[in-house]
Amino acid sequence: MAAFDCDLVGKIGSMALIRRRDKDIDYNIFARLGADLKPGMIWVSSGATEIGRLDYLKRNGSLLQEDEMAKTDYAAQGQSILMEWYRRFISPQYSVRQVLVEHQHFNDAMKREHIRTLLLRAQQQNAIPIINYNDPVSDDENRHMELMQMRWQRGEEAHIVECIDNDETAAVIATMMKARILLIMTSVEGIYEDPEDPSTLVREIGGKDTDEVLANVREMQRHCVGASRPGANGAKAKLEFIADTVQNGTTVIIGHARHHIRELVEGTVPRTIIAAR
């Protein structure tokens, strides 16, 4: 039996998919990803809400009052645009499949297995899954109530997946799929000792075994502050979400979305790699 059931699970953040200054999509990023994505890869993509917000602004000249309902409306508007650009740039010889997930899918063994087998079939059927959290149908209040009920039923110590961020979604999927690599693409080069000083990029968080790696990850979290946008969780949360993935033997790579997937995996560009030696 192979050690890994999936070669790569990747994730890209919202801010890496847009040109904030121009209030537009970064089409070059989609073109680069489209050239790189192949069957055997599972791609988790943020961006629906931010792209929907930009599209709404273009069509209406102003934005909605920022609240949970606006996020729902923007996500519903941006979802089809997000998939349109992936389909446009991914090679036409490959199928593209959208998979919208919610926290409940990973907290239910039957639903989790259904998703796992769907993703395994995609590898065999020449298809690339593009996964996103289903924001339009799951608001914060409902999610928190459902999670509270799960904790009451299973006990406070039970491991409950919340998927408050697509970093967590990607890590959960990488663990579920026994991925060889979890690649997190961001708008920075990786993890920094000092987020204000690019020269402090941490190129490796390693150790003799997974326990030592995780201890070094905990230490690195002390340096992590800030995020790319209001409401995002930043580098500290990224390091928190990957704990189970690292324990599962997966190599985690965090790097800038301007690089090709191959460059980040091979280490020919700056990045942070997290793995046991």
CATH numbers and ranges of domains, the chain: 6-274 (3.40.1160.10)
pLDDT in tens, 156-181: 566 666 666 899 999 999 999 999 99
Are 8 and 40 within 8 A, CB to CB?
A: yes
pLDDT of residue 164: 67
pLDDT of residue 182: 98
pLDDT in tens, 118-144: 999 999 999 999 999 888 886 664 554
Q: Which of 94, 85, 166, 96 is nearest to 130 (CA)?
A: 96
The whole-model pTM stands at 0.88
Residues 191 and 186: their CA atoms lie apart, in Å, by 10
Residues in a beta bridge with 7: none
Q: Share the mean pLDDT of the chain.
A: 88
- Give the β-pairing of 127-133 and 95-101: parallel
CB hemisphere CA count around 223 (13 angstroms):
15
Q: What mean pLDDT do residues 21-27 have?
A: 95
Q: What mean pLDDT do residues 226-242 have?
A: 64
pLDDT of residue 134: 86
Place of tokens 């059927």: 125
